[in-house]
Structure 1
Amino acid sequence: MNALSAAAPLQGFWQLVHGPLAHWARHRPDMVALQSEAGSWTFGELHAEVEQRSARLVAQRAPQMLLLDAGRSTLERLVDFLAVIHSGRCAAVADPDWQPAVRQRIESWLPEQPCELESAAPTAAFYTGFTSGSTGLPKGFKRHHLSWTESFRVGLQDFGPVVAQRTLAPGRISHSLFLFGAMQGIWYGCGAVMQEKFSASRCLATLALGDTPCLVAVPSQLLLMLQWAEHRQLAPIPEVELITISGARWMRAHTPALRALFPKARIIEFYGASEASFVAWMDADEASGPQAVGRPFSNVKLSIRPTGSDAAENALAEHGTSHASDGLIYIRSPMLFMDYVGDAHDATAVLRDGDWLSVRDMGHIDERGMLCLAGRQSRMIVTQGKNLFPEEVENLLASHPAIAQVSLHGQADALRGLQVHAVLQWRPQTQVPSALELNQWLRERTEAFKVPRQWWICEHWPQTASGKTDHGQLAQALRARMTALTDAGISPAQLPALRPWQS
């Protein structure tokens, strides 16, 4: 691929996220590099505009980190992003839905002093993204160029040349998955198609045209596409060659329907984190257990460490060695983030041990060398003296035809330590089971101690900015319902409404 060897260390401009843009502007000036409903830029046009905007930042001695204007179109924000990183500075990507108070707090974290930088370096910070934090404020994470260019390289090495094609990344660039998809399209020289606002129908229409063979998506987007295709009785779309799924756990019961809609597509699930980038991947297989997330990427090492003792004294299970019991997953790779920005005292912050990092996910490596994810350490429920990972039961319940969403929580109980509660949202126009029927259905699939003792219904499901279930909001609502108290100054009116379910 034009002097790039996916198996060799990156050299020259390939080490920079924007580095190949000038190369592609010379060799493919008229190919569309970025496109959305708002317009398009060819590689030649994009390179010229990025250089012009970058030169202005250098002349103005702009600060080292700049917050992108959330009010501009996705396309314009991407051009601004490229200009900022071309100048050697770090682009912080705001969420358009932030409240003014949140935005002001984030702005207070940014440097104000003039910066003399004129160009980028591979190990210099280029991007600050934001993810949910335990303090209620977004948690800023900072990355250097090599952490992403190494991800681009290993994606090509592990997935093969199919990944280096024009890609549809139909989400907000405040979600790092879609920003990554856009930059990947620039770096590979194949271009990316974005959406100013997600539309399942426009996604399917774009893919059916045949000139965008790759799709990067989160599970909720794929489910909406499947629903739209079924509702409109759309024909299969054989033009799609690769679908990569991340951002949340993919319910594999939907894989056959996805294959039917995209019959020639290779479907890949990958597990990662904002702080770790790529960790593990697998070709979608509905026969795989729900905990399996795949084998490590070629440049990733894993160790499973017991909790509750000094990391240096723990016996480690390196990847490739079976380790049946769940422990903290530690990762070593060249794709790890640099550090947090702003509030460093977040209880959900990563754990570090030298070159190793843990995002506090727990799991094990099975006899096939597959990483199996149990769940997040902070969500683990100890009930009847046994460890229960809510994600396991949530995945089982989510496969029930009547259940659209589910969230498990532990509430104090004198007998059991914590009693298991489940919050559900029903699928529209489906037959709702009785509580007895649902209990029996779940008992046939898991151990009795994992079956919830109390059930709740939530009609208006809370989600984080990245489209995941907001378990924190539901936990607060459940505590308020159980104790008639709220914490953190949140009034009951601001919390999701829950009602007990006994039918």
Structure 2
Amino acid sequence: MTTLLTQSYWPAEKSTGVRDITLPGLLREAAEEFPDKLALVYGAKNPENRRHWTYAEFLADVEQGARALLAHFSPGDRIAVWAPNSANWVILQQAVAMAGMVVVAANPAYKTHELEFVLRHSGAVGLFYVKNYRGANLEPVVQTALGTATNVKTLVTPDTWEAFLDSGDPEAKLPDINPTDPVQVQYTSGTTGFPKGAILHHKGIVNEATFVGERTAMGPDGVCINAMPMYHIGGGAVTELQTISAKGTYVVMPAFDPALTLELFETYRGTHSLMVPTMLLAVLEHPDAATRDMSSTQTIMSGAAPVSEALVKRVIERWGCQFSILFGQTEMHGVTNQTRVTDSPEDQARTVGQPLPELEMKIIDVDTGEIVPVGVQGEICARGYQNMLGYDQLPDQTAATIDPDGWLHMGDLGTLDERGFLRVTGRLKDMIIRGGVNLYPREIEEVLAGHHDFAELVVLGVQSEKWGEEVAAVVRLRDGCTQPDPAELKSWCRERISAHKTPSRWYFTEAYPQTPSGKIQKFVLLDQITSGELEAVVAPSSQADQQGRESVAQ
């Protein structure tokens, strides 16, 4: 598009077209064209534990998995996956899609009440999970959750995986699937204290990922090194399907490890990767970065948190590669905006690029709903095939998010320039983005409200060089209570909420700044924190605790 905009409206950019295609259709295309090409690698830390699949082998295992699923479940059933990254995660996800079922992706860092809610709310009838994660025994968590999530009838663990695969009928007919059939329920943390399940369809995640791959110039020679969690839209849709669409090689890491990332790039001649800024910094600053061969690197993608111009330039200069910034949200099947590899480092750092093809975008006045002139801040709205089907079992919240004209209100504030480049300036929703993970204060506040010393509390995000934002809590204590020890607060929280949601900074106040109507002014609190008027109390962090908090990177 060469016409300069005067209003903040971007008409859908035409392309080769949005395909009516499904996940199994995409995989079958790749297997037919490149049956003997390396398709999938499990990049275990110990090379002896690594496994490799050609596209023909990948497809065969997915078909076997789909038939096994059909022996236990029916098309349309919800299948929950509560496990860290593995090649089996990828195969299972593809098999669920091929069987006409729906993946319910669950963060393996969930605590009991979080897993229980997702299982019960989604109506999942099967649960695939690992027994141990980061040294913790997950069996008691599962058994407790099943006490109320009685809809779950079948459990599968790595110990029973092979037997499960063998349980299918090799002659069973696989179902016909429509491109707009649901394929995933991705839970996003909700402002009401519980997450909302965004229902995604085949057509949305396949085409969106294909367009992302086109902007990163990925082709059949592409090798994507992925440490993004498979339960996250970035791992379980964007990187995986981008690679299959390009008919490249997908190397999935069990967890983020900067040394392993460097080694896998060297060993498999990695060309592409999606890493949030904290991951990029860890890789760049690792001692092995000076000796590993990264010359095969073609394009590094980043996003989910602000990416500085200095970091963009550092990556480009260090690895001699191209860079691409991604922006979007789960409700839009992942990415809505993306910089091209030919965009300047300034545009890479100061904007999130133009909308993907076939997607309309506008910026509207928050009060009037009218489109604003270019450069004027307003709410970001998008419309197109990428719209989610809706929030699972939440028609009112779906209607509040997708208006009658089909515009999805993203809840973010931003501006469009005359070229259609989007700059994100804030959030209508009080979302905190910590290391690429979206966290919502209300959910955390409801847990912290259970502390007997707290009269009132506010959770908000404060700037962090490493994480983009960190979780902070501003607390007003009950009369007569003394300020708790931060180490004790951390321990108390860790028993009740995921590590990455636990506040890392605590502030104590006797009164909150309020509007005349009594609403707490969070922006004033942030000013008080920035100016030093409120001083942080920080608990000491051990190495083990730090590893436990790196939820997205791992």
The change in CA–CA distance for 1:289 and 1:72 in structure 2 (over 3 A counts) is: closer
**2:41–2:52 contact (8 Å) kept in structure 1:** yes
Q: 1:214 aligns with which of 272, 282, 289?
A: 272
Answer yes or no: is 1:315 the counterpart of 2:350.
no
Alignment-derived partner of residue 385 in structure 2: 334
Identity of aligned residues (%): 18
The separation in 1 between residues aligned to 2:95 and 2:195, in whole angstroms, is: 24
In structure 2, the residue matched to 1:300 is 359
- CA apart distance, 1:375: 0.9
Give the letter aligned to residue 412 of structure 2.
D
Which of 14, 28, 41 lines up with 2:53 in the alignment?
A: 41
Match of 2:123 among 110, 120, 131: 110
What secondary structure is seen at the aligned counterpart in 1 of 2:375? strand
Deviation per CA, 1:340-359: give whole Å up to 9, x if none.
Answer: 12566779973534221112
Matched, 1:275 2:331: yes
Tell me: CA distance 1:252–1:163, structure 2 relative to 1, closer, same or farther (3 Å). farther
Contact 2:279 2:553 in 1 (8 A): no
Q: Which TM-score applies when normalising by structure 1?
A: 0.71
- Residue 140 of structure 1 corresponds to 197
- Of residues 513, 524, 532, the one that matches 1:420 is 524
| 1:343-354 aligned within 5 A | 350-354=401-405
Q: Secondary structure at the match of 2:177?
A: coil
Amino acid aligned to 2:361: L
Question: Any unmatched runs of 5+ in structure 2?
Answer: 1-13, 45-49, 126-150, 154-172, 432-459, 475-510
SS at structure 2 position matched to 1:19: helix
Q: Distance in 2 between matches of 1:117 and 1:191?
A: 26
User: TM-score w.r.t. structure 2 length?
Assistant: 0.65
Please state if 1:152 is matched with 2:165: no
Partner of 2:62: 50
Residue-by-residue CA offset, 1:4-50 (whole Å, 9 max, x unaligned): xx9423556xx112313223323322222211125222211111121
1:97 — aligned with what? 109
Aligned residue type for 1:454: L
Which of 6, 16, 19 matches 1:8? Answer: 16
Match 1:202 to one of 260, 266, 272: 260
Q: Deviations over 1:63-111 (max 9, x none)?
A: 6233344247621121111111001111112211222332222222316
Name the SS of the counterpart of 2:377 in structure 1: strand
Q: Following TM superposition, by how much is the alpha carbon of 1:335 offset from its aligned partner in structure 2, in angstroms?
A: 1.4
Taking structure 1 as reference, are residues 184 and 293 closer, same or farther at Cα in structure 2, changes over 3 Å only? closer
**Are the counterparts in 1 of residues 83 and 107 from structure 2 also a CA contact under 8 Å?**
no
Aligned pairs (5 A) from 1:60-459: 60-62=72-74, 64-71=76-83, 74-108=86-120, 109-110=122-123, 118-162=175-219, 165-180=222-237, 181-209=239-267, 211-229=269-287, 233-234=290-291, 237-263=294-320, 265-276=321-332, 277-282=334-339, 283=341, 285-288=344-347, 292-309=351-368, 314-317=369-372, 322-342=373-393, 350-379=401-430, 398=464, 412-413=512-513, 418=521, 420-422=524-526, 453-459=533-539
8 A Cα contact 1:326 1:363, kept in partner: yes
Is 1:32 matched with 2:38? yes
Provide closer, same or farther for how the CA distance between residues 194 and 348 of structure 1 changes in structure 2, counting only shifts above 3 A: farther
User: How far apart, in 2, do the equivalents of 1:333 and 1:414 lie?
Assistant: 40
State the structure with bigger RCO (CA 8 A, min sep 6), 1 or 2.
2
Query: May I ask how many residue pairs the two structures share in their alignment?
Result: 412
| Secondary structure of 1:359 counterpart | strand
| Distance in 1 between residues matched to 2:329 and 2:222, nearest whole Å | 24
Question: 1:147 offset after TM fit, Å?
Answer: 0.6
Unaligned runs of 5+ in 1: 1-5, 381-393, 425-434, 440-450, 469-503
Which of these residues, 23, 29, 39, is aligned with residue 17 of structure 1?
A: 23
